[in-house]
Structure 1
Amino acid sequence: MLHNKNVIAYPTESMFGLGCDPTSEEAVKKLLYLKNRTVEKGFILVASNFNQIKMYINEYDLSEKQKNKIFLHWPGPFTFLLPAKTNTPYWLTGKFNTIAVRISAHIEIIKLCNTFGKALISTSANISNMTPCITREEVFKYFGKNFPLLNGKIGDEKYPSKIVNIMNGKLIRNV
């Protein structure tokens, strides 16, 4: 499904997510349409390991201290805003010069990224500004009964991942 420029729903650490191939502008446009979301916001990438996201990150702009902080929290429910490489597609960064990335410890995401062979976009399964889906039934209610949904269990996190801007240390989302 993901290799064919499709959007899927899948279980994350705290809710169902929507994801697609981050290198496919066509797939991302489908995702933006489904969520009724603007491209300016950018997206979070989720991966099973650092190698799946390093093509998007300008590591040279990170200090050793910053790298240590990141890897202290990964894998886990922490999303970091990191400096994006200049060739990172605008549909991932939005209006920013950073990229939001997370290395997950959730087995469903690890299996999905490893099977897909790379990182994927991770955004809540909902229409923008509406309640995120916690059940399969809610996913089907929002997106139709035939929407591609990966079977699996949502993790034990009560809230979406914290988002930290590693460049200035600011907490962007602490739900």
Structure 2
Amino acid sequence: MKNKYLKMIQETLLHLEQGKTILYPTDTVWGLGCDATNNDAVKEIYKLKNREESKSLIVLVNSLEMLKKYVSVPEAAVEILSKTNKPTTIIYSNPNGIASNIINKEDNTLAIRIVQHDFCQELIEAFGKPIVSTSANVSGNPTPKSFSEVEKAILDSVDYIVNLQQDKVSEKSSTILKIEGEEIIVIRE
């Protein structure tokens, strides 16, 4: 673990391990997160966002190896992930070991991204499990482009705020792809 983030990761881990919610920078936007394997923690994210549990969330992992622990990864996904240099989320079928209230109930799928942000990579590696990532806003409100744009309601309600407000995020959501057989469907560019 790099010394740059050591103290911050240790503090964040305490909250994740207790099933708490966090506000943190990702490789795309400032996000709300929690242990992606904990149903109760995920419920808290839905409450914070004032969002129906029927809407699925994105999950972050730190490596292809971790991804393979939770889903079967088609060869097309491996190829896409090996070539992309921008944040890319892929929707996978039949996830296992993940909180059931994150999974899309209609088709048993889950959107997962291998995160490219140093802090997130190290945090997930230290945690040893995936974490939820959803934009840090109340549903229906604009996605904050920086920490300073995060709504007061979110700041007041989240259990822990990662103190990396100066860290730059891309301010752009990830590309979302779904692979069905041989077909690659672009959900969000």
TM range (shorter): 0.7 to 0.9
Q: Considering only aligned residues, what root-mean-square deviation do their CA atoms show, in Å?
A: 2.1
Shift of 1:145: 4.4
Give the C-alpha shift of residue 86 in structure 1.
5.7
* Residue from 102, 108, 114 that aligns with 1:92: 102
Range moving further from structure 2, 161-170 or 90-99: 90-99
Selected match of 1:36 from 42, 50, 75? 50
1:89-109: CA deviation from partner (whole Å, max 9, x where unpaired): 431212232211111111121
Give the deviation of 1:158 after TM superposition: 3.9
- 2:185 corresponds in structure 1 to 170
Aligned to 1:107: 118
Contact 1:12 1:154 in 2 (8 A): no
Query: Residue type of the partner of 1:8?
Result: I
TM-score, structure 2 as length reference: 0.79
The Cα of 1:140 is off from its aligned counterpart by 5.8
Q: What secondary structure, in the 3-state scheme, does the structure 1 residue paired with 2:102 have?
A: helix
Pairing of 1:42-53 with structure 2 (within 5 A): 42-53=56-67
1:67 aligns with 2:67: no
Counterpart of 2:26 in structure 1 is: 12
Distance 2:97 2:79 in 1: 25
SS of 1:54 mapped into structure 2: helix
% of aligned pairs identical? 30
Secondary structure of 1:91's counterpart equals coil
TM-aligned CA deviation for residue 111 of structure 1: 2.1
CA shift for structure 1 position 40: 1.7
| Aligned residues of 1:70 and 1:80 also touching (Cα < 8 A) | no
Where has structure 1 moved over 6 Å in runs of 4 or more? none
Q: CA deviation at 1:22?
A: 0.8
**Unaligned 5+ residue runs, structure 1?**
none
The alignment partner of 1:21 has SS state of: coil
Query: For the Cα contact (< 8 Å) 1:9–1:139, is it kept in 2?
Result: no
Q: Is 1:150 equivalent to 2:166 in the alignment? A: no
Post-superposition shift, 1:121? 0.6
2:171 paired with 1:161: no
User: Deviation of residue 70 (structure 1)?
Assistant: 3.0
Conserved? CA contact 2:145–2:171, under 8 Å: no
| TM-score of the pair, normalised by structure 1 | 0.85
Q: How far off its partner does 1:26 sit?
A: 0.6
